Protein backbone atom coordinates (compact mmCIF):
# COMPACT_ATOMS: atom_id res chain seq x y z
CA UNK A 1 0.00 0.00 0.00
CA UNK A 2 2.85 2.39 0.86
CA UNK A 3 4.38 1.79 -2.56
CA UNK A 4 1.10 2.78 -4.18
CA UNK A 5 1.01 6.11 -2.27
CA UNK A 6 4.64 6.69 -3.16
CA UNK A 7 3.89 6.12 -6.85
CA UNK A 8 0.86 8.43 -6.76
CA UNK A 9 2.90 11.12 -4.99
CA UNK A 10 5.72 10.79 -7.49
CA UNK A 11 3.23 11.03 -10.36
CA UNK A 12 1.64 14.15 -8.89
CA UNK A 13 5.06 15.69 -8.31
CA UNK A 14 6.12 14.97 -11.88
CA UNK A 15 2.86 16.38 -13.21
CA UNK A 16 3.25 19.57 -11.17
CA UNK A 17 6.85 19.92 -12.34
CA UNK A 18 5.63 19.82 -15.94
CA UNK A 19 2.68 22.12 -15.28
CA UNK A 20 4.53 25.03 -13.62
CA UNK A 21 6.69 26.00 -16.65
CA UNK A 22 3.63 25.73 -18.89
CA UNK A 23 1.57 28.00 -16.62
CA UNK A 24 4.42 30.53 -16.35
CA UNK A 25 4.93 30.56 -20.11
CA UNK A 26 1.22 31.19 -20.62
CA UNK A 27 1.16 34.01 -18.06
CA UNK A 28 4.30 35.71 -19.35
CA UNK A 29 3.26 35.24 -22.99
CA UNK A 30 0.05 37.17 -22.27
CA UNK A 31 2.08 39.89 -20.51
CA UNK A 32 4.52 40.09 -23.44
CA UNK A 33 1.61 40.33 -25.90
CA UNK A 34 0.37 43.35 -23.95
CA UNK A 35 3.93 44.74 -23.87
CA UNK A 36 4.16 44.32 -27.65
CA UNK A 37 0.95 46.37 -27.89
CA UNK A 38 2.56 49.16 -25.82
CA UNK A 39 1.00 48.24 -22.46
CA UNK A 40 3.66 47.40 -19.89
CA UNK A 41 1.45 47.41 -16.77
CA UNK A 42 0.45 43.71 -16.89
CA UNK A 43 4.12 42.66 -16.94
CA UNK A 44 5.05 45.26 -14.30
CA UNK A 45 2.59 43.65 -11.87
CA UNK A 46 4.85 40.56 -11.69
CA UNK A 47 7.69 42.56 -10.06
CA UNK A 48 8.19 43.24 -6.34
CA UNK A 49 8.69 46.70 -4.85
CA UNK A 50 12.33 45.87 -3.98
CA UNK A 51 13.10 44.41 -7.42
CA UNK A 52 16.44 44.92 -9.21
CA UNK A 53 17.21 44.40 -12.91
CA UNK A 54 20.84 44.07 -13.91
CA UNK A 55 21.19 44.86 -17.58
CA UNK A 56 24.24 44.70 -19.82
CA UNK A 57 26.52 47.71 -19.45
CA UNK A 58 27.38 49.56 -22.62
CA UNK A 59 26.56 52.62 -24.62
CA UNK A 60 22.76 52.36 -24.68
CA UNK A 61 19.68 53.56 -22.79
CA UNK A 62 18.96 50.25 -21.05
CA UNK A 63 22.38 49.82 -19.36
CA UNK A 64 23.00 49.30 -15.68
CA UNK A 65 20.76 48.56 -12.73
CA UNK A 66 17.08 49.42 -12.60
CA UNK A 67 15.76 49.30 -9.03
CA UNK A 68 12.26 48.87 -7.67
CA UNK A 69 8.97 48.89 -9.51
CA UNK A 70 9.60 52.52 -10.46
CA UNK A 71 12.88 51.53 -12.09
CA UNK A 72 11.24 48.66 -13.96
CA UNK A 73 8.43 50.99 -15.03
CA UNK A 74 11.00 53.34 -16.58
CA UNK A 75 12.86 50.43 -18.21
CA UNK A 76 9.65 49.10 -19.75
CA UNK A 77 8.65 52.58 -20.97
CA UNK A 78 11.96 52.67 -22.86
CA UNK A 79 11.15 49.22 -24.24
CA UNK A 80 7.70 50.23 -25.50
CA UNK A 81 8.88 53.63 -26.81
CA UNK A 82 11.39 51.75 -28.97
CA UNK A 83 8.50 49.59 -30.27
CA UNK A 84 10.39 46.41 -29.46
CA UNK A 85 8.45 43.23 -30.15
CA UNK A 86 9.34 40.16 -28.14
CA UNK A 87 8.44 36.51 -27.89
CA UNK A 88 9.03 33.96 -25.17
CA UNK A 89 10.49 30.86 -26.79
CA UNK A 90 10.87 28.61 -23.74
CA UNK A 91 10.70 28.60 -19.94
CA UNK A 92 12.46 26.47 -17.34
CA UNK A 93 12.09 26.65 -13.55
CA UNK A 94 13.78 25.34 -10.44
CA UNK A 95 13.32 25.73 -6.71
CA UNK A 96 10.34 25.93 -4.39
CA UNK A 97 7.48 28.45 -4.86
CA UNK A 98 8.88 30.77 -2.19
CA UNK A 99 12.30 30.99 -3.93
CA UNK A 100 11.88 29.96 -7.55
CA UNK A 101 14.35 30.66 -10.36
CA UNK A 102 12.94 31.07 -13.87
CA UNK A 103 14.96 30.96 -17.08
CA UNK A 104 13.22 32.33 -20.14
CA UNK A 105 14.47 32.41 -23.73
CA UNK A 106 13.24 35.74 -25.09
CA UNK A 107 13.79 36.83 -28.69
CA UNK A 108 13.09 40.43 -29.67
CA UNK A 109 13.23 42.78 -32.62
CA UNK A 110 12.20 46.30 -33.64
CA UNK A 111 11.30 47.83 -36.97
CA UNK A 112 11.56 51.46 -38.03
CA UNK A 113 8.66 53.60 -39.28
CA UNK A 114 9.39 52.49 -42.86
CA UNK A 115 9.36 48.79 -41.91
CA UNK A 116 13.16 48.42 -41.94
CA UNK A 117 14.41 45.95 -39.30
CA UNK A 118 16.44 48.13 -36.91
CA UNK A 119 17.23 45.52 -34.30
CA UNK A 120 17.03 41.79 -33.61
CA UNK A 121 18.50 39.72 -30.78
CA UNK A 122 18.21 36.57 -28.65
CA UNK A 123 18.16 36.76 -24.87
CA UNK A 124 18.11 34.56 -21.81
CA UNK A 125 16.38 36.15 -18.83
CA UNK A 126 17.17 34.76 -15.37
CA UNK A 127 14.50 35.75 -12.86
CA UNK A 128 14.55 35.04 -9.16
CA UNK A 129 11.23 35.14 -7.36
CA UNK A 130 9.94 35.31 -3.83
CA UNK A 131 6.42 33.98 -3.38
CA UNK A 132 5.48 34.63 -6.99
CA UNK A 133 6.96 38.13 -7.37
CA UNK A 134 10.16 38.75 -9.34
CA UNK A 135 12.84 40.21 -7.04
CA UNK A 136 15.86 40.01 -9.33
CA UNK A 137 16.43 39.74 -13.07
CA UNK A 138 19.59 39.40 -15.13
CA UNK A 139 19.41 39.64 -18.93
CA UNK A 140 22.01 37.94 -21.14
CA UNK A 141 22.10 38.89 -24.83
CA UNK A 142 23.53 36.88 -27.73
CA UNK A 143 24.96 40.08 -29.24
CA UNK A 144 25.35 43.02 -26.86
CA UNK A 145 26.78 45.29 -29.59
CA UNK A 146 23.38 45.37 -31.26
CA UNK A 147 21.96 47.28 -28.27
CA UNK A 148 24.27 50.26 -28.80
CA UNK A 149 23.64 50.27 -32.55
CA UNK A 150 19.90 50.17 -31.95
CA UNK A 151 20.04 52.96 -29.38
CA UNK A 152 21.91 55.21 -31.85
CA UNK A 153 19.24 54.50 -34.49
CA UNK A 154 16.51 55.38 -31.99
CA UNK A 155 18.23 58.69 -31.21
CA UNK A 156 18.45 59.45 -34.94
CA UNK A 157 14.70 58.80 -35.18
CA UNK A 158 14.04 61.16 -32.25
CA UNK A 159 12.98 58.48 -29.74
CA UNK A 160 14.03 60.00 -26.38
CA UNK A 161 15.35 57.77 -23.60
CA UNK A 162 13.69 57.52 -20.20
CA UNK A 163 16.73 57.62 -17.85
CA UNK A 164 17.12 55.27 -14.88
CA UNK A 165 16.19 56.72 -11.52
CA UNK A 166 19.16 58.03 -9.58
The 10s digit of each residue's pLDDT in 75-87 is: 999 999 999 999 9
pLDDT at residue 118 tops 70: yes
State mean pLDDT over 91-105: 94
Helix (H, G, I), strand (E, B) or coil at 122: strand
| DSSP per-residue codes, 42-75 | HHHTTEEEEEEEEE--SSSTT-EEEEHHHHHHHH
The pLDDT score that the predictor gives to residue 137 is 97
Helix and strand counts by DSSP (H, E) for the chain: 4, 6
Whole-prediction pTM value? 0.84
- Domains of the chain, with CATH numbers? 2-156 (3.10.450.50)
With beta carbons less than 8 A apart as the criterion, state whether 127 and 102 touch.
yes
- Looking at the DSSP bridge assignments, the partners of residue 121 are 108
State mean pLDDT over 83-111: 95
The pLDDT score that the predictor gives to residue 1 is 65
pLDDT in tens, 6-60: 555 545 455 555 677 788 878 889 999 999 999 999 999 999 999 999 998 889 9
pLDDT in tens, 123-132: 999 999 999 8
If we measure between CA atoms, which residue out of 136, 110, 160 comes closest to residue 53? 136
Amino acid sequence: MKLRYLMVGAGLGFGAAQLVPSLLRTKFSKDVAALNAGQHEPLLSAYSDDFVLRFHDGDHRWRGEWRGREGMDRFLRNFTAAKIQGEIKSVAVSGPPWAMTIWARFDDHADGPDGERLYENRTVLVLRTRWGKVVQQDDFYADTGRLGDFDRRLSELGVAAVPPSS
